[in-house]
Amino acid sequence: MGNAKQQKLIGNLSVNGGLFLLCLIWTIPVIGLFFSSFRDRLDIQTTGWWTIFPHQTWNKVAEIDPRETGLDPDGVMEVRGVQGTFKEMREGITSPDGTTQVIWIGNKRIGWIEVQEYIWTGGSWDFTLDNYNQVLGGKEFEYTNDDGTVEVIPGDNFWGSLLNSLAVAVPATVIPILIAAFAAYSFAWMTFPGRQWLFVIVVALLVVPIQIALVPVLTDYTRLGLNGTFLGVWLAHAGFGLPLATYLLYNYIRELPREMLESAFIDGASHFTVFTRLVLPLSVPALASFAIFQFLWVWNDYLIALIILGGNRDTMVVTMRLANMVGSRGNDWHLLTAGAFVTMILPLAVFLSLQRYFVRGIMAGSVKG
Amino acid sequence: MQTDVKDKQFAKSFDPMQFMMGLLLLSGVLVFLVGGFVFLRDATTSKWVITPVAIVWGVGGAGLIFWSMNWIVEQFNDKWVARLQPLVFVGPALLFLFWYLAVPSIRSFGMSLYGRDGITFVGLANYADVFTNRLMLEAFRNNLIWIFYGTFFSVVFGLLIAVLADRSKAERLSKALIFLPMAISFVGAGVIWKFIYEVRPAGDPQIGLLNALVSTLGADPRAWYVWPEIIPWNNLFLVVIMVWMQTGYAMVIFSAAIKGIPTEIIEAARVDGATEITIFFKIIIPSIQGTIIAVTTTIVIFALKIFDVVWVMTGGQFGTEVIATAFYRQSFVARNAGLGSATAVVLLVTVIPVMIYNLRQFGPKEETF
């Protein structure tokens, strides 16, 4: 009996231990980004973000001038119980117990010896909001470098891009849902010629890759003057999201109780009334799930925005702004991390507050083309 | 019953007052649509004004179009309402499906038969090019890497985490953490992982997590995903990003499926002395086989169309080109619409088996149509 208990304990430990390890691996990338986005420009360039936590590191405890202490750089020197030649000391010598390190700094003639000890430091928590101020604002930002020169870098105007993303994502979510809900209702509750064939087309289009449509759509847009407009992006997302929206909403609306709808018709209600007063309110769970999926899809989309909105600075959405930043200032990690986090705030908030709908939406929406 | 019929007839009879009101409303709708379009096109005011106007115009406009089309149709007598109303409901959806997906597929195929200028007929030359061009062959090879390794690890980790979480008390939290990356855009995820892969010369403190780990273990730091010596396996460092994001999707679906396995079966196996590993391979895997196939298919399609992450991380350089980046490069950078369309058609043809499967699985059911 004792053996079985022990086995259960070991099983429990390995389950939770394994799960903890996997969760840690999955979370660390985001944690690293989050902390880095608050770190100072120079800190982020010179030390890893994990050094904000208490850790052991080599700290200088003494500086020795070899000429004053009478050490001979050409022979074997002994400092704090560590012996070595000049060449070895240039590389750094660690004492046998691993707590002290002796390094020769500079050249043979005028250099000096540094003694370092491996000690705990409390980490550095001096966080700043400067990175966010710079990526969010459109103003210019001034830096004073170590050598005294002043650098002027334009802000990235993420506020403007956030508003653009919102202006793109809200209608690009509502329009396809509205169109799809009408269509789903008609497939489920109306009779008209070709209904079955049209539904076959909807299902067939579920997995069509949008790449196939981009060039022809862009040609039409050029002709219609829709290139670079929000309207163009809304309609494109509506078109590409429609098969899935129609299919999902059809599955839901079809299952609504037949008696309820029929009694409404007997009372003289028109299809339009039944749809707006009865079917839409009853379909809120399905509408919400798809809405979250579509909203995040549009918010996170890069390809369609890139092709239709192009490089216009005024209409740039957050994903494009961030991608441009990767291209133009790939080493300004203080800005890239802050910018990346700005693009993630809204999706993460949606995820954390509406997790149930979110999961349902993603699960249902996974077949999108 | 009597009064119902009377009401119905009354409502259908012509009322000039109501008709005039309707026309007035219709012209209001027209003014709203046109005025909003002109305002948004020419507006130079603050984004804080334009954004709400755009959202109200886009969302409201879509609703108003449906409402007014329906109003017009309901002015006809019952027989015509029954004929025309389905058109109002399903018409816009069909317009979008045909304009954005069905017709462009055919147009792209047409364009793929023409040369760079879109005028010279070249027959299947573009397809010959697609299958012999060095860069395209590289793209096919890389997509195979994405499809195989990306799908394999997403499914394996998803399954592993689903099984572990099912036995843990921290199920909700751990599932939320694994699922979280799904809320992030590929551009944002690209920045996160670029930061993890960041490399500094050997000897300098590493600010990228992976190289810091590698340096601590005594190996040389590398520019992992642009490491030329290991091409094509540097692609795996990009595939990691997809696995990081898609595992959550696989996990939630597997988790739901595992919860559907009757507990009695598993308990009975335990009583019979089966180990957890036997239960996993002999009971859990066979029970959720269908789900595993569905998830695998979905992730394979996802991997086939991978674009954002490659475009942002490497731009397809360093041997990381994939089909979607090649398509983008040909269609929008090199402006060779013929070759680009041929690439898109190849992409479409590869998903046709899935399309057929979907039609068999989710197409119109006899009893509802």
Contact A243 B58 (CB under 8 A): no
B197 found inside a domain: yes
B185: number of Cβ within 10 Å:
26
- The SS3 of residue B15 is coil
Contact B102 A351 (CB under 8 A): no
Please check whether residues B308 and B182 belong to one and the same domain: yes
Q: Sorting pLDDT into bands at 50, 70 and 90, what band is B5?
A: very low
B85 found inside a domain: no
Q: What are phi and psi of B52, to 5 degrees?
A: -60, -40
Three-state SS string over chain A comes to: CHHHHHHHHHHHHHHHHHHHHHHHHHHHHHHHHHHHCCCCHHHHHHCCHHHHCCEEEEEEEEEECHHHHCCCCCCCEEECCEEECHHHHHHCEECCCCCEEEEEECCCCCCEEEEEEEEEECCCCCCCCHHHHHHHCCCEEEEECCCCCEEEEECCCHHHHHHHHHHHHHHHHHHHHHHHHHHHHHHHHCCCCCHHHHHHHHHHHHHCCCHHHHHHHHHHHHHHCCCCCHHHHHHHHHHHHHHHHHHHHHHHHHCCCHHHHHHHHHCCCCHHHHHHHHHHHHCHHHHHHHHHHHHHHHHHCCHHHHHHCCCCCCCCCHHHHHHHHHHHCCCCHHHHHHHHHHHHHHHHHHHHHCHHHHHHHHHHHCCCC
B109 found inside a domain: no
Please check whether residues B52 and B136 belong to one and the same domain: no
Please check whether residues B158 and B269 belong to one and the same domain: yes
From the list A186, A340, A347, the residue facing B191 with the nearest CB is A340
pLDDT in tens, chain A (369 residues): 457 788 788 888 888 899 999 999 999 999 999 888 888 887 888 888 887 777 777 777 777 777 777 777 777 777 777 777 777 777 777 777 777 778 877 777 777 788 877 777 766 667 888 888 887 876 666 767 667 777 777 677 788 889 889 989 999 999 999 999 999 999 998 888 888 889 999 988 988 999 899 999 999 999 988 888 888 999 999 999 999 899 889 988 888 888 888 888 888 888 888 998 889 999 888 888 888 889 988 999 999 999 998 877 788 899 998 998 888 877 888 888 998 999 999 988 888 888 777 777 666 655 554
Please check whether residues B63 and B175 belong to one and the same domain: no
Contact A29 B193 (CB under 8 A): yes
Whether B43 has a pLDDT exceeding 80, the answer reads: no
B179 contact residues in A (CB cutoff 8 A)? 351, 359
Q: Flag whether the ipTM exceeds 0.90.
A: no
Contact B7 A302 (CB under 8 A): no
* Number of domains comprising chain B: 2
Contact B66 A175 (CB under 8 A): no
Q: Looking at per-residue confidence, does A80 or B350 come out higher?
A: B350
B110 found inside a domain: no
B90 found inside a domain: no
Q: Can you give the pLDDT at residue B335?
A: 87
Whether B280 has a pLDDT exceeding 80, the answer reads: yes
Contact B102 A270 (CB under 8 A): no
Q: Sorting pLDDT into bands at 50, 70 and 90, what band is B72?
A: confident
Q: Can you give the pLDDT at residue B9?
A: 45
Are A22 and B157 in contact, with CB atoms under 8 Å apart?
yes
Whether B11 has a pLDDT exceeding 50, the answer reads: no
B161 contact residues in A (CB cutoff 8 A)? 19, 22
Tell me which of A207, A252, A367 to substitute to probe the interface with B (most B C-beta atoms closer than 10 Å). A207
**Which tens digit of pLDDT belongs to each residue from B174-222?**
988 998 898 899 999 999 999 999 888 877 788 888 888 888 888 888 8
Please check whether residues B132 and B44 belong to one and the same domain: no
Q: Can you give the pLDDT at residue A61?
A: 76
Q: What percent of chain B has pLDDT over 70?
A: 94
Q: Can you give the pLDDT at residue B54?
A: 85
**Which tens digit of pLDDT belongs to each residue from B16-27?**
777 788 888 888
B212 contact residues in A (CB cutoff 8 A)? 48, 50
**Which tens digit of pLDDT belongs to each residue from B112-150?**
999 887 788 888 888 998 899 888 999 999 999 999 999
**Which tens digit of pLDDT belongs to each residue from B217-249?**
888 888 888 888 787 888 999 999 999 999 998
B283 found inside a domain: yes
Q: What percent of chain B has pLDDT over 90?
A: 32
Tell me which of B109, B130, B163, B184 to substitute to probe the interface with A (most A C-beta atoms closer than 10 Å). B184
For tokens 């494009």, name the residue: A320
Residues of the domain holding B319? 128-362
Q: Can you give the pLDDT at residue B4?
A: 45
Q: Can you give the pLDDT at residue B323?
A: 93
Distance of CA A88 to the CA centre of its chain: 46
Please check whether residues B237 and B318 belong to one and the same domain: yes
Please check whether residues B177 and B271 belong to one and the same domain: yes
- The SS3 of residue A140 is strand
What are chain A's domains?
55-121 (no CATH), 158-365 (1.10.3720.10)
B80 found inside a domain: no
Please check whether residues B173 and B313 belong to one and the same domain: yes
Domain at B341, CATH number: 1.10.3720.10
Q: What is the mean pLDDT of chain B?
A: 86
The C-alpha of A165 sits at a distance from chain B's nearest C-alpha, in angstroms, of 9
The C-alpha of A70 sits at a distance from chain B's nearest C-alpha, in angstroms, of 30
From the list B161, B170, B302, the residue facing A16 with the nearest CB is B170
